Every structure is written in structure tokens, then in C-alpha cells.
Amino acid sequence: MEKIALLFNPSSGKGRATQKRRALQRSLKEHGIAHDWFESRHEDDLRDLVAVTAADYPTLVAAGGDTTMLIVINELMRLKADNALGMIGLGSCNDVVREFDVHTMKKACLAIRRNRPRQIDLGAVRDGKKVLRYYPGQASIGLAVLVNQYVERVVRRNPRLGKYQTLSGLHGAWRACRSAEVPIGLEVEHEGGRVSGEFMLAVFDNIRYYAAGRKALPQARTDDGRLDAFLIRKCSFSRIAYVTLLTPPVAYAEKREVVILQSPRFAIRADKPFSVQIDGEVLVQEGQPRSFRSLEFVSVPRALKIIS
């Protein structure tokens, strides 16, 4: 097996990835994976490491959380690089690695050792003709963005609470439902027509999972040239909690509040500014969440070569 470039992000999982460094190095050695170790100091440094290593290593392996994968993938897309990408999930959610069944260190290392790349689609967030971000997992509007921002504030004040993100998220959802920020009036154009109304949440998925392992869209595929969306209409906090936490994924479409769609492209228009979350990262501008009144989410077929 040729030597790989291992890109390790110690800040993943609210900094808990640092505690997994020795276990990761031990697992790489046990599986006989020849590698050069590159450790990032911050997000810009991680982007630089991708640019430096992509030219010399046919295979890069990103070790970190969903945001780490997002950064590495977007840099590969910017470079128009053809490298194969392996993934080792060390974050808080790990929805992306869960989709490709490499969500344990052992499974990830076995896949990297086999090194059998395959092409997958990516989602893309597009403002006019400009792609703002490519993503392997999901993009969301509404409640998910507000909950993410609340949990980030909680963990920033008390890092120990990072282990209790579900509880923090529920409290954040309760607060958001009492605010004026949701619901949002949306018009969603897709290949089969238009859907409009007041929505608490809109998710545009390239994978089956969201929110730390919840399987929202069992039918979603990463190689069909389409995105799968689910939207939840205006309802109470208790109903949101029931639908998102207690409803089996196969029964989502049966709930009166839920709209399930599939399309290669979704065009969104809103009655008030909204922010967007991409695989756990809220899009920002000058340090503040960026606001939009319209946006597109599109599938980019066979955009990335991954190892799974």
C-alpha cells in the first residue's frame, strides 16, 4: 500500500480528538497503514495542509469531525484535485462517516488499508452562479441553525457540557420555538413543482443521517444525482421533539407536519432573512452568520472519490 497523508484535526469533537491521538496512531500501526502525519493548528492551517499534501499523496485521510471533512473536501474541490479521501471520525456528530460505515476507528482503518475508492455525489450551496460550499452530508435552514448556535454558546461557556449535546440541543430547540426566528415562510421549488408555507426546519440531505446519527431519510443515496429533503411545517416544540426524536424514519412521511422531497435542485425563497448550516458549520461573513433571502441547493454528481 502506498503511503498516505494523514490530516489530523486535534480541535474536533470540542477538543476531545486530542485524547484519541494515541489510539489513532496505535490503530494505524496495527493495520499496517504507512502514513505521514500532518497535524493542523487551526482551520486555515488545515486548508494549507490539504493544498500541500494533495500534490504529493494520491490518498489523503482526514481525521476529525464533520467540519474537518467539510474543510478538506472544499479545498480538494477548489484545487480540482483527484485525490482519494479516507475519513476517520473523531467529532461530536460523525454523520458523514456513519453514512459510509466507517464510523469506528477499526472500520475506518480497515477501509483505508483496502484503499478501494468510489465516486460519490456532493451537495452544493449556490448563491446565483457562485458555489458557496460543497457538502457531503446535509444543509439546513431554521431550527437546526438556531440549535447549533445555542449549543456552541453553551459549550464555549462550559466545555464539559459538550458531552450532553442532546440535552443542550433540546433546550436550544425549546428556546428557538419561543422566539420570532421560526417559523420561516419558504417557497421551495423542485423538479416536481413547488411547496410553500411556514416551516420550522428544512434539511437538504446528501446522506441518510442528520443530528448525530438520526436516520431521517432512509432512501437517500450518495450516487443518484439527487438531494433528499425533509421539511417540518409550523408546529409546537413538543410536536417537533416527537417527530424528530421519537418517530421511526420510515414513518416520517406519514406525519402531517412533514414534507419529503427528492430533486437534483432545490431553489429556496424566504419571507425573511435566514442563515444556513452546512454539516454543523453555520455560513458566516465577517464573523457573523450570513443572511439570505434566496438560495439553491444542488447535487453535484460523482464529484468526490472516497474510501469506504
33-38, Cβ contacts within 8 angstroms, sequence gap of 24 or more: 33/1, 33/4, 33/109, 33/112, 33/113, 34/1, 34/2, 34/3, 34/4, 35/3, 35/4, 35/5, 35/6, 35/61, 36/3, 36/4, 36/5, 36/6, 37/6, 37/8, 38/5, 38/6, 38/7, 38/8
- Looking at 81, 115, 149, the residue that finishes a domain is 115
Contact 115, 84 (CB under 8 A): yes
123: in domain: no
Q: Note whether 109 and 167 are same-domain residues.
A: no
Distance of CA 233 to the CA centre of its chain: 22
Number of domains the chain is built from: 2
Rounded distance between C-alpha atoms, residue 177 and residue 100, angstroms: 33
Q: Note whether 215 and 75 are same-domain residues.
A: no
272: in domain: yes
Rounded to the nearest integer, the mean pLDDT of the chain is 87
- Looking at 115, 148, 173, the residue that finishes a domain is 115
Q: In a 3-state reduction of DSSP, which class is residue 299?
A: strand
Residue 169 half-sphere exposure toward CB, CA atoms < 13 A: 18
125: in domain: no
From the CA atom positions of the chain, what is the Rg in Å?
A: 19
Q: Note whether 100 and 148 are same-domain residues.
A: no
Rounded distance between C-alpha atoms, residue 191 and residue 5, angstroms: 40
Q: Note whether 165 and 293 are same-domain residues.
A: yes
Q: Note whether 84 and 180 are same-domain residues.
A: no
Q: Note whether 110 and 139 are same-domain residues.
A: no
152: in domain: yes
Domain carrying residue 216: 130-302
Residue-level pLDDT at 189: 98
Cell numbers at 303, concatenated: 464529484
Q: Note whether 50 and 12 are same-domain residues.
A: yes
65: in domain: yes
Provide the CATH number for the domain around residue 51. 3.40.50.10330
Q: Report which DSSP code applies to 159.
A: G
Q: Note whether 157 and 259 are same-domain residues.
A: yes
Q: Note whether 100 and 140 are same-domain residues.
A: no
Rounded distance between C-alpha atoms, residue 263 and residue 186, angstroms: 17
- Looking at 115, 142, 172, the residue that finishes a domain is 115
255: in domain: yes
Percent above pLDDT 70 for the chain:
86
Residue 252 half-sphere exposure toward CB, CA atoms < 13 A: 23
Helices (H) and strands (E) in the chain, counts: 8, 19
Q: Note whether 56 and 88 are same-domain residues.
A: yes
Rounded distance between C-alpha atoms, residue 248 and residue 305, angstroms: 31
pTM: 0.90
Contact 155, 168 (CB under 8 A): yes
Rounded distance between C-alpha atoms, residue 207 and residue 222, angstroms: 6
Provide the CATH number for the domain around residue 238. 2.60.200.40
Q: Note whether 137 and 282 are same-domain residues.
A: yes
Q: Note whether 168 and 50 are same-domain residues.
A: no
66: in domain: yes
Residue-level pLDDT at 42: 84
Residue-level pLDDT at 21: 84
The tens place of each residue's pLDDT in the chain, 308 residues long, gives: 689 999 998 876 555 666 778 899 999 999 999 999 999 988 899 999 999 999 999 999 999 988 899 999 999 999 999 999 999 988 777 889 999 999 899 999 999 999 999 999 999 999 999 999 999 999 999 988 877 766 666 556 665 545 555 666 666 666 767 777 889 999 999 999 999 999 999 999 999 987 766 777 888 999 999 999 999 999 988 888 887 777 776 676 778 889 999 999 999 999 999 999 999 889 988 888 999 999 999 999 999 999 99
Residue-level pLDDT at 237: 85
308: in domain: no
